[in-house]
Amino acid sequence: MEFGIFNAACLLPKYRALHGDAAEHHRIMDEVAFIVAADKAGFKYTWASEHHFLTDYSHLSASESFLAFVAAKTSNIHVGSGIFNITPPVNHPARIAERVAMLDHLSEGRFEFGIGRGSSTTEQRGFGIEDPDITREMVAEVLPQLVRMWKEEEYSFDGEFFSMPTRNVLPKPYSLPHPAIWMAAGSPSTFDLAAELGVGILCFGFSTPDQLTPLVARYKEKIAECTNPVGAYVNNNVMITTQMICMEDGAKARQAFLESESNYHLSLVFRYLDTFPKPKGLPEWPDLVPAMDADTLESVIASGDIAVGTPDEVTKAIENYASTGADQLAFGMLSTSISRETCEEAVETFGRHVLGNFDKDPIHSTTKQRLAQSGR
């Protein structure tokens, strides 16, 4: 199993109160420091979200600029879009193709291309998309065209959602034939679609390991049968996002989690991401999902459903996630109000005591698959 981190530049109340008018800038720079620490600790991936207009939930909109900046500050970690929104009203497809190729050059082959269609009507309607369902059709039209743009010197297209006269979209990718393609997914149907397309899964759900196991198994079964991927090769990969606070002092890790406002972040998820299914009985914003108490936290640590605590306790949780069949775990620590210093300590501790027990291969999975299937 490989490991990554997730970046969104969330601004929760405790963090705003502490940092005042400088909170937005500080949180963006916290994310940069998080990536640098993860790179040093041996993490292989970082995933930068793209969200628009979602106050507090995510202030990371121009993730292509963010990723170029962190690529220059790191040496081994792959920088990924988690996701780029590829619907034409939000981003013209030619601009997406250009950004992917440029990031691939600037990182010298360390870019990972995650795609999505946006999960909030606040975002979609902000760009003139009134029907969320039509974004599925937009993605289906755009994705194969991006692959064509990277390959062809005389590209043209006349489609339902965008059209282009003959043009050479530049630059072409640095990685041959192109960076690995991933797709954001939470529902069984999207897992199936990703497998049919031969692309990796970025799973941003909130399920426990046992709930994810059948989804991963179904994906693995279907992608093994993929003979006509949308890209030039199959990216057989499942990434799952979860939380992690690994510290030598287990009590300190627990306290950090209990004070992190993770329930506030979860409440923002259901406030904004209204194309996701919402569990019954959840409070309506501005009422919040109840915070986890100390006894409940002890219970989920003991069951291995959350990677919080000492290295041994976190190892148990990672074993649970590894048993799902997933290929990568990514930790979105700064989606809460924890401090940069707490985040860096947890990443460094995880790197010293846990990471090497699971990730024993220095080569990124996506690199190995790309080279093996392209004959390079």
Confidence of residue 337 (pLDDT cuts 50, 70, 90): very high
205 pLDDT above the threshold of 70: no
Q: CB neighbours (10 Å) of residue 221? A: 10
For the segment 62-85, what is each residue's pLDDT rounded down to a tens digit? 999 999 999 999 999 999 999 999
Residue 34 to residue 9: CA distance in whole angstroms: 11
Report pLDDT for 128: 98
Q: Domain span at residue 90?
A: 2-374
Contact 229, 237 (CB under 8 A): no
User: How many angstroms from the chain centroid is the CA of residue 179?
Assistant: 16
Average pLDDT over residues 216-221: 97
Total structural domains within the chain = 1
The model's confidence at residue 260, banded by pLDDT at 50, 70 and 90, is very high
> Model confidence over 110-123: pLDDT tens digits?
999 999 999 899 99
Mean pLDDT of the chain: 96
- 2 in the Ramachandran plot: left (φ > 0), alpha (ψ -120 to 50) or beta? beta
Report the share of the chain in percent with pLDDT over 90: 94
What's the count of helices (H) and strands (E) in the chain, helices before strands? 15, 12
Residue 277 has pLDDT above 80, yes or no: no
- For residue 83, whether the previous peptide bond is cis, meaning omega lies within 30 degrees of 0, is yes
* pLDDT surpassing 90 at residue 146: yes
What is the 8-class DSSP label of residue 288? -
20-31 confidence digits (pLDDT tens)? 999 999 999 999
| 317: three-class secondary structure by DSSP | helix
CATH code for the domain of 161: 3.20.20.30
Specify the pairing of strand 307-309 against strand 328-331. unpaired
C-alpha distance from residue 82 to each of 43, 142, 147, 185, 320 (Å): 16, 17, 18, 11, 24
